[in-house]
A and B are shown apart, each in its own frame.
Chain A
């Protein structure tokens, strides 16, 4: 009889431990990769390169966090990359004087550009949210549609060409070194991730995301405002993508109609590698951040040890599959 409690407890602990282990595993893997790469190439662990990795991860962390908001609800946002492109060119065009005239004061131009960029993100998010909830179209199809639409808008308004001559103050605002030499992208990313973490953990909206992802029907029966929550999730995702797009625009110094072309897959991959479940309802901002760091370290390391770009694709693909294979242990817990 005395062994009963132990026996009853054991399966519970066993079910818990792989998940905890997997969470540590990704952090351990990141450190191990850093160590491995710096053995091959000492420059990897130079303070400058570490800061570099942090900045690279900042952008990806924002996009992965955006993806997290919708994946939590069992959705997807395929339109993220196109949305980034559209925001980039719209913001850049407004900042270079479309609408206000190039003579307007730079401060006003920048403010208007930021507003136009965020507005574009808002529009994409509303479209995604409204089509998935009110028209009840599968998120995959909705965001496949908005992917095409945003791509079309981006190439039409920019005529397929980059938009140059952004105000100098803009790049300084979203890209330059900030207080105490900390890069501004890093500051923005940390602030946004903390904000989303607080929202997801402590607000009714945030908890509703988990409920809907865990069991949509139960959530609706329990009185969760399913539609409003879903619309807000898609709007939040697109707004985060818009902020990331504005930051990237500041880095490249021009509005690029193809800025988000290769962002979609890494954004989903980072979230899932970090530990977000594609089945919905499970995941934290920390997962998205860890996943982003993982990909940033991997690609930075491969670049520095001069791995062929095509081979990098193959490695990344294999890593995605392997990382999600680990995710199976977490999924098995449900």
Chain B
């Protein structure tokens, strides 16, 4: 049997790269040609800043998808993190003698603590109680958002230290917001982990074939829990960055990010069946979603119409990739 390769090497290369980077370049090219405001440094910075939050959350979501799960609680964990960290910081305000560093440390600890707690809860329920991840995270989402609203009584929490807001969240380091550095670091670390470390390889093995992984002596449960914990903590990290930028703790901070993070991962080729996913592609997926949003904003497409485009688009990208995969299998 001979394999049917596309005749032109260029065509083959396109197939290897995948649809997403091509679409990304196309969209950017069209926008540069059509809309002069697109390439201004302010706009590019906006898109990058917006996508860096989604990149961090989607990278975590990818880990959970890779072990064959789902995390519907990332948005709610973000909300809880935002409120809890803001309350912790407001509890030790600079005025009362505490240093800004202490106040910020308390806030960050409270925020990441929420992520850790919910990640453990999700992971333990999935790995040990074997509850379907969809339902576990649906339940914990309800718990976390309820707790966030309860803590803050449904109103924003003010009183964050200026060192946290002006000095960090809204600051520019070498002309770029800190969130971008954070996103780049997360992607880089995860790329290193998935390519070179044992834990990275094992997480993919657990998602690819759980039984084979268990038989090979991999502590599958530990890696499943690790994936959920990392996912929740990354959501917390994104939430801390976003809270620092907004300047107050918000109980509604992550509303849209749950489904967006799954969307970004899926258009980047992460399989919902587990075992497949590359963090660099997920980052591209997140940038693409934000770019699409930005392009539609600049072209003055109403946000309501944007929702329709986004819906059609997600289905279309996945459909085309699915088609490509089937053709590959046939070849």
Contacts and interface: CB of A to CB of B under 8 A. Distances in A.
A135 B319 contact: yes
B310 interface: yes
A265 B134 CA distance: 11
B302 A310 contact: no
A149 B146 CA distance: 28
A324 interface: yes
A153 B142 contact: no
A278 interface: yes
Interface string B134-152: 1110111111111101100
A8 interface: no
A153 B305 CA distance: 8
A152 B314 contact: no
A152 B147 contact: no
B311 A324 contact: no
B143 A153 contact: no
B304 interface: yes
A48 interface: no
Interface in B282-315: 302, 304-308, 310-315
Contacts of B141: 317
Given A141-B318, A314-B147, A314-B150, A148 B132 contact: no
A269 B150 contact: no
At the interface, is chain B mostly helix, strand, loop or mixed? helix
A160 interface: yes
A160 B142 contact: no
Given A148-B307, A149-B308, A320 B138 contact: yes
Contact of A272 (B135, B149, B305): B135
Interface string A75-98: 010000000000000000000000
B213 interface: no
A312 interface: yes
Interface string A101-143: 0000000000000000000000000000001000111101110
Interface string B114-156: 0000000000010001111011101111111111011000100
Given A265-B142, A325-B129, A310 B149 contact: yes
A327 B139 CA distance: 14
A313 B145 contact: yes
A313 B143 CA distance: 6
A296 interface: no
A145 interface: yes
A328 interface: yes
Contact of B146 (A145, A146, A312): A312
A136 B326 contact: yes
Interface stretch (B186-194, B236-244, B259-267): B259-267
Interface in A306-326: 308, 310-314, 316-321, 324-325
A311 B143 CA distance: 8
Contacts of B150: 308, 310-311, 314
Contacts of B307: 148-149, 151-152, 155
B28 interface: no
A141 B320 CA distance: 13
A328 B130 contact: yes
Nearest to A314: B146
Interface in A271-321: 272, 278-279, 308, 310-314, 316-321
Contacts of A72: none
Given A137-B315, A144-B259, A321-B139, A156 B304 contact: yes
Given A138-B318, A278-B132, A313-B146, A318 B311 contact: no
B138 A265 contact: yes
A233 interface: no
A331 B149 CA distance: 34
A137 B147 contact: no
A160 B130 CA distance: 42
A268 interface: yes
Given A148-B308, A153-B308, A328 B129 contact: yes
Nearest to A315: B146
A138 B131 contact: no
A147 interface: yes
A76 B135 CA distance: 12
14 contacts: A138-B318, A141-B266, A145-B314, A149-B307, A152-B307, A152-B308, A153-B308, A310-B150, A313-B146, A314-B150, A316-B146, A317-B138, A318-B139, A320-B142
Interface of B: 125, 129-132, 134-136, 138-147, 149-150, 154, 259, 262-263, 266, 272, 302, 304-308, 310-315, 318-319, 322-323, 326
Given A135-B319, A140-B272, 19 more contacts: A137-B322, A141-B263, A141-B266, A141-B272, A141-B314, A146-B311, A146-B315, A149-B308, A278-B135, A310-B147, A313-B145, A314-B146, A314-B147, A320-B135, A320-B142, A321-B125, A324-B136, A325-B131, A331-B130
